[in-house]
Structure 1
């Protein structure tokens, strides 16, 4: 077995320890609940391309609505029989196409290791399970931060605002709600940003209410839950961003994209394929996830920038 194969496959010593010293499965610190993945509606992309058809923008000189789309001519009739206007709804000639992104890796396991040290815990199953967890963590990071289709990048300028004073206050979240007021689904924020908002709301005497989702409590504002994700990063100055999303195709919101029915599929859009065993008895399995995310309309998402997470209030309590 080559040195490279040794570095990229499960060691016999590690497998032996797991097989003889414990009955608990291996733990991985990076694993998170990944609430965003659970809350996004997922669309199966047939043919590998998702085409997002939108109403065309009005050309110069054409009547436009407040969103810049070609205005639909209508007439309210109370009496008589006036001539009715004629109209049509035009679509973009070249709609945006989303090609699914791919996360892949190859899991190497020595057949001797998986054969000898799978008494209590299946070594191959655990290797694949932990790899899939890492793939899902990377997927959530890409959904938020990808330079091509990530949620942060896709927010248009008119849907971006900044905090008034740095700390995330109820006023700031109310401003976000004015931008995504059509059936807002949830705020998405780093846990530190949620804690900072909780401090500000409590300071004002309006501590956030809680709601239970998936059996766990989440704080809310105006009935909208604040969903934590560490994939919305906090910079060295303690600044981060809070997102507000509307989700679902029917609501013209944000949707996740995936390809189902691929060979070796373990769950929708995620497959594990056996690639064979080489002359060093190293068995290889290809782990693949196909995914992307699409924002149906510009007002389906908004972002609050310049969110400070480092400010704490000093409370003075009366003596006695």
Structure 2
């Protein structure tokens, strides 16, 4: 009797689609592509306010920096008088960045393992608010660094691309203990190209466990909140942006971040989270509010290099 050949017959086995139904899936928390390190809020000096208002008192100066005494007479070559103050100082009122997060209680009750749905919603909303805060610190018409820098502290690039000469001139505007440059990552790449082209490649320094390029020992901090042609995430084509040089700290008459203290439901500096209740449809609501502003204590605390050409990615391939 001939023996049967089974070599070409498929062997029955459990399929992957069916097996998948019994498998545990390891899940990540929601990833937020737009998040950034937000170096600016880490580098600022911050001052807490009791009432949400900061009055920036200034000396009423004369024609020269040394001409500040209001003389009342000259007795034996000794000038007598007093140092006068401005009678109309600027007041900064804290800006509010707020949002409301709604979560269906049925969803949070049933679908909160392994990640708590309410906590994840609040975490992502807080991250979004803090990204908005950093953008406002630079771009707010009311108090942002870019819009409120003095006209005398603004300079133009010589040839479009940011050169060592441009950076040196910016330092000459903020020469009293400058703290750091702020620039879009593409502007920093352009700085590296131009400096290397001239044979003076930038050195690096380590801060917060990260490495930054420097110029004249001053760190160059990246932020995508200094837009290129008005966009946060521009494509590779050429565009224009600005580079800032900042001096920080109240004792240095620099830039000072402001926030509200003692908030109900305070989660972090100037940020509160408050549960506002559940409606008849079972929707729970949470109010998130962040109060902040920034004061430029002296005109020479910030300088702006304008019309910086970041170049075209494809020109350097």
Q: What TM-score, normalized to structure 1?
A: 0.85
User: Which aligned pairs between 1:1-320 and structure 2 lie closer than 5 A?
Assistant: 21-58=25-62, 64-66=63-65, 70-72=67-69, 82-235=76-229, 238-310=239-311
What are the ranges of 5 or more consecutive residues in structure 1 without an aligned counterpart? 1-19, 59-63, 75-80, 316-320
After TM superposition, the runs of 4+ consecutive aligned structure 1 residues lying more than 4 A away are: 311-315
Structure with the bigger percentage of strand: 2
Whichever of the two has the greater Rg, that structure is: 2
Change (3 A) 1:312 1:25: closer
Quick one: structure 1 residues 229 and 90, their matched pair in 2 at CA, closer, same or farther if it must change by over 3 Å? same
**Shift of residue 137, structure 1, vs aligned partner:** 0.5
2: distance between equivalents of 1:27 and 1:107? 18
Alignment partners' CA distance in 2, 1:92 and 1:207: 45
Q: Counterpart in 2 of 1:15?
A: none
Query: Does structure 1 retain, via aligned residues, the 8 Å contact 2:59–2:84?
Result: yes
CA distance in 1, matches of 2:169, 2:81: 35
Give secondary structure in 2 for the equivalent of 1:47.
coil
Which SS does the other structure have where 1:166 is aligned?
coil
Secondary structure, aligned partner of 2:109: helix
- Judge conservation of contact 2:68–2:84 (CA < 8 Å) in 1: no
Shift of 1:314: 8.0
Unaligned runs of 5+ in 2: 1-23, 231-237
Summarize deviations over 1:277-307 as a string: whole Å, max 9, x none.
0011000000000000000000000000010
Hey, what's the Cα distance between the residues in 1 that align with 2:190 and 2:115?
A: 42
Task: Spell out, residue by residue over 1:105-164, the C-alpha distance to the aligned partner (whole angstroms, 9 max, x if none).
Answer: 000001111111112111100000000000000111111001111111111111000000
Q: CA deviation at 1:311?
A: 5.6
Check whether the contact 1:261–1:268 (CA below 8 A) recurs between aligned residues: no
Shift of 1:23: 3.2
* Partner residue, 2:9: none
Change (3 A) 1:200 1:93: same
Corresponding pairs, count: 283
Question: Do 2:69 and 2:84's aligned partners in 1 also have CA atoms closer than 8 Å?
Answer: no
After TM superposition, the score normalised by the length of structure 2 is 0.85
C-alpha RMSD of the superposition: 2.0
Taking a change above 3 Å as real, the CA distance of residues 137 and 313 of structure 1, as seen in their structure-2 partners, is: closer
Distance 2:210 2:89 in 1: 40
Structure-2 separation of matches of 1:152 and 1:106 = 29
